[in-house]
């Protein structure tokens, strides 16, 4: 899993806006949630708001432990 928990909150969107975000997310192979987060980060960067880089999700198999190996 990722290191830090994410803040969850309800968000009400116009259905047409949600559909547009859904299409953009699909073209970028992202979830709608990840697309909204990306769009917010881009908008804040354009306004000059500096954020820390997001913690990337860990992908792939977990490393093998050295216990029990012969």
2-44 residue pLDDT tens: 567 888 999 999 999 999 999 999 999 999 999 999 999 999 9
Other Cβ atoms less than 10 A from the Cβ of 60: the count is 5
Q: Is the pLDDT of residue 49 over 90?
A: yes
For helices 15-27 and 32-46, give the axis angle rounded to 10 degrees: 90
**Cβ atoms 57, 2 nearer than 8 A:** yes
R_g over Cα of the chain: 17
How high is the pLDDT of residue 67? 62
Per-residue pLDDT band at 52 (split at 50, 70, 90): confident
User: Phi/psi class of residue 51: alpha, beta or left (left: φ > 0; alpha: ψ in -120 to 50)?
Assistant: beta
42 vs 51, which has greater pLDDT? 42
**pLDDT of amino acid 24:** 97
What tokens were used for 22? 């859904």
């Amino acid at each position: 899993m990722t290191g830090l928990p994410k803040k969850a909150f309800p968000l009400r969107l116009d259905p047409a806006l949600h559909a547009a975000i859904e299409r953009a997310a699909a073209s970028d192979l992202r979830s709608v949630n990840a697309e909204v987060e990306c769009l917010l980060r881009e908008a804040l960067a354009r306004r000059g708001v500096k954020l820390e880089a997001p913690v990337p999700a860990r992908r792939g198999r977990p490393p093998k432990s050295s216990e029990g190996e012969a």
